[in-house]
Chains A and B, each alone.
Chain A
Amino acid sequence: MVVSLKPLDRKILRDLWRIRSQAFAISLVIAAGVGMVVMSLGMMRSLDATRDAYYDLYRFADIFAPAKRAPKSVLEEIKAIPGVSVVEGRINAGATLDIPGIAEPITTRIHSIPSGREPRINALVLRSGRWPDPKQPDEVLASEKFAEAARIGLGDNIDALLYGKRQHLRIVGTALSPEYIYAIGPGQIFPDNRRFGVLWMGEEHLAASLDLTDAFNEALVRVDRSADARDVTRKLDRLLARYGGVSAYPRSEQISDRFVTNELAQLKTMTGILPPIFLGVAAFLINTVLSRMIDAEHEVIGLLMAFGYRGQAIMLHYAKIAVALSVPGLLLGLALGSWLGRGLAAMYQNFFVFPFLNYRAGLDIYALASLATVAVVLLGVFQSVRRVQRMTPIEAMRPPLPPNYAGAAARLIGRMRALDEPTRIILRGILRRPIRSALGSLGVAAALGLYITSAGSHDNVARMIEILFDQSNRADVIVTFAEPRDQRAIFALQRAPGVWRVEPMRIVGAKLMGPRQSKSEGLTAATPGDDLNRLVDIDGTITGPPPRGVLISYGLSNELGLSIGDPLEVQVTEGRRGHFTLPVAAIIQSAVGSPAYVDATMIAAKMNEAPLLSGAYLGVDPARIDELYRYLKVTPAIAGVSLRAAARTGLDETIGETMGIVTMFNTGFSALIVFGVIYNNARISLAERSRDLASLRVLGYRRSEVSYILLGELAILTIIGLPFGIAFGYLLSRWLSSSLGGDLFIVPFGLTASTVAQAVLLVLFAATITALFVRRRLDRLNLVAVLKTWD
């Protein structure tokens, strides 16, 4: 095939070939910026869409209304509440499992499923096996992730301790539920699938075990789209009060949904902040590179003008070059971003446990990323070409006048006697074009800052884990009781094998009310001097409970609309259900959750009861831990056990698999940008200086001496960029960590010196590699051409 190209188009191809290595670096930078946007937005949208579809398809409840024991006849009354479309009663229970091959007791949540039909609300996705046979009392379904992690297979028998009774259960199938997208045990903030599981059991059999025949202890409600959910909740509370109802709550307070929403909000923040900055930095770099390239082309532009080419045609020519330069990077970025976005979404699908994934990158994302890139690139071209076109053709064609260096700064350098001439060339070169030099340094700074921010996410999470496990939660084992117990439980636990310290855990179920809104959030009772579970704020400061009043988290104070000194209204939802107010004594930035802390003695007095325990924090001799596990597995009162070491390991693994990978990609993209920036800086300097450098070579300068001039400038611009990059990275990282705060946990700012050092080393490494590469180019300078003699 013979393709006939216009000469100018042929010039485009040759120009692109000539600058191919620079074009490659530009493509990488564009690909990084575009890829980041497509990856992040694609993943975000997919997760959002997947969650919504999952909730919808599997009829996730709108309202959860727990009670102590309500007869099934009440369900009809609930159905009659205006706005309620579907209602279902079910039975929930906590239990511990003894699974062969696992030393520690496993905490589980057991839910009833209707006999002979699928649940109308919170439907299950049957993943393997079959539904339990209503005639077989021991058959259960297990949550899929738990079955995998605990290595339980279909047909396996397990022992459960259910309300003090030992029961044999047989796994006949595995399932997923929209209720457990984020499956966490009591008091945990990250999933540990090996040590927390969910079972579903035939309603009649669970009812029999719990003495709840023809009754339920939780009503699930779906409401009409037009209904006022708050109103329905209030009516539910009123209806269930006499059956031990403890305040119905909406989906948004359901623990899994809260975490998923929180996680997605964090991802949204991450994707809302970093990718646009990535794209912005990439665009800025391309703009700089293009305008410098076009400046160098001004003789050609002058020639075209002299030949009578119209302004538009010339503009079009360079626009074509710019677009051709950006298209490979754009395509690469779109492909890479889609691929990684899909991969990341699949990873989160696994982490969040979705049965399917709706991948939605969307044409609009592609269009947005492409348009933004092309617009910036064209703007760069337009500005530069216009600048040349303002000259007369003859001015433009003339070799560039030597820039005027006769400024005050240049004189100052002249007076510095200690400098040699090559150093003067470097310094004057930098000072002569302060804006251009500043942009060069700024590019390095931006790339460095992005890298620090990306890699710093790791530090922030590490700091969070440190606050969580080293400063706050220091108990080796936390046990929770099925029902609150009195102080004698402490003595019993003190006698348990290996236990050297016991501290009481007391969480009073309550509804907290402020001027803005109310929230079901337990009051955590603490004793001054508690050592195993300490109140730690985001800066690592340890505080105790106030002697009077309540200490609340910053997030909670915001939600409820409270400041220090304001009264917090408390409606206790258990025991005698007291109603009182407590003054807000302090507000702290709590690292985890949005807790309200009170003094244990003070709250017992307020509630008019002897201090009770919801559970206990245990300090355990590691040598006797297995002995303790055996003891706990057979202790009837215990509904849940959580282990610090296991939780920490699980958390490390989880983060490694999720956030770690996102961080890795971000870091990789920013490293690409670092290389792209430095390489382009060097190549442009080389192009601008090659004539001077070749002259010096002709005059007898050695290669090393000539390299010094070029690489010295690169080194100085890079080094000037470092402190700004560190400052930019520090601020951006700090801002990002503060933006990530949710009501479940706050991400502290934990950027370490070693991450900064690593980033600086990367820049220096990139500069060194570039220097070696450019040095090779210097060796090939055309000395003859410099004499301008074409004989």
Chain B
Amino acid sequence: MASAPPLYRIEGLTKTYGEGDTAVQALRGVNLDVPQSAMVVLLGPSGSGKSTFLNIVGGLDQATSGHVHFEDVELTGLNDHGLTEYRRHHIGFVFQFYNLVASLTARENVALITEIADEPMDPTDALALVGLENRIDHFPTQLSGGEQQRVAIARAVAKRPKVLLCDEPTGALDSQTGVRVLEALDQVNRELGTTTLLITHNAVIAEMADHVLRFADGQLADSRPNPNRRRPGDMTW
């Protein structure tokens, strides 16, 4: 997929839930390289395996077989402690429902992560990056859904992770707000060079990717570069 050494090298990845007759094969042998600093969008219907894929790449779940190499580390060989450390140092997550801690202000939610990071940004700078410099002392209840998701993005990027994993980050938002959130992600990817994997149901969003992956039935059905990456502000749905 790219000439420079990839950030992730994924080989023959499978995941099976359950056993015997009730076994469900969520992933059936995925092979893929993810280049450094790429903006990758994952598309596919429900049950196609994209979230399972993201969970394994994010160190939240164990593969049944196959290998995931992150730089020089083989994730599939790590135990729970190793996966925690991997998430702690390298991964930023953005969830569909934001998952902010309601009892902390925007700044404090970001500080929650910068406290445990090695070379974090200043929480205020991280919030400025997503355009929330005027909302730093607000609690989640005082923020709109889009604002909450941007806090979540600030929280995810404040530790300067190598990878940002976003699972339906705009799923709970209207299109106008969704665009603002995607702009924030786009900006982080361009300015900080953070490799970003973004799951969405919305095919339009694929227009902002460097690379589009399409999952179907537990397999990678299509993997294609997008030579005409667009700014989120130019997209509509």
Contacts and interface: CB of A to CB of B under 8 A. Distances in A.
B48 A698 contact: no
Nearest to A404: B141
B168 A789 contact: yes
Interface stretch (A106-114, A417-425, A672-680): A417-425
B110 to A, nearest CB: 9
A474 interface: no
Nearest to B199: A789
Contact of A405 (B84, B93, B102): B102
Interface in B152-200: 155-156, 159, 167-168, 199
A428 B104 contact: yes
A695 B104 contact: no
B10 to A, nearest CB: 17
B97 interface: yes
* Tier of interface size on chain B: 35 or more
B61 interface: yes
A791 B52 CA distance: 7
Contacts of A7: none
Contacts of B103: 403, 405, 410, 424-425, 428-429, 432
A421 B26 contact: no
A432 B102 CA distance: 10
A753 interface: no
Contacts of A421: 101, 104, 108-109, 111-112, 115
Interface residues of A, number: 37
Main secondary structure of the interface of A (DSSP, over half): helix
Given A788-B95, A791-B26, A424 B88 contact: no
A698 B87 contact: yes
A783 interface: yes
Interface stretch (A219-227, A257-265, A699-707): A699-707
A691 interface: yes
A692 interface: yes
Interface string A29-73: 000000000000000000000000000000000000000000000
B112 A783 contact: no
A788 B97 contact: yes
B233 to A, nearest CB: 27
B60 interface: yes
A429 B88 CA distance: 24
A695 B88 contact: no
A399 interface: yes
Contact of B141 (A403, A422, A791): A403
A176 B105 CA distance: 79
B131 to A, nearest CB: 21
A525 B41 CA distance: 103
Contacts of B137: 414
Contact of B139 (A410, A697, A788): A410
Contacts of B111: 421
B96 interface: yes
A414 B140 CA distance: 14
Question: Which of B58, B103, B116: most chain A CB closer than 10 A?
Answer: B103
Given A402-B140, A406-B141, A421-B111, A701 B116 contact: yes
Interface string A673-695: 00000000000000000011001
B124 interface: no
Contacts of B87: 698-700
Given A432-B103, A695-B99, A699-B87, 16 more contacts: A402-B139, A405-B103, A424-B103, A425-B103, A428-B103, A691-B99, A699-B113, A700-B85, A700-B89, A700-B113, A700-B116, A786-B99, A787-B51, A791-B47, A791-B50, A791-B51
Interface of B: 26, 46-52, 54-55, 58, 60-61, 84-85, 87-89, 91, 93, 95-97, 99-105, 108-109, 111-113, 115-116, 137-142, 155-156, 159, 167-168, 199
5 contacts: A403-B103, A404-B139, A410-B103, A700-B113, A791-B49
Q: Which 7 A-B pairs have the closest CB atoms?
A: A700-B88, A402-B102, A428-B103, A791-B51, A789-B51, A695-B99, A700-B87
Interface of A: 399, 401-406, 410, 414, 420-422, 424-425, 428-429, 432, 691-692, 695-703, 705, 783-784, 786-791
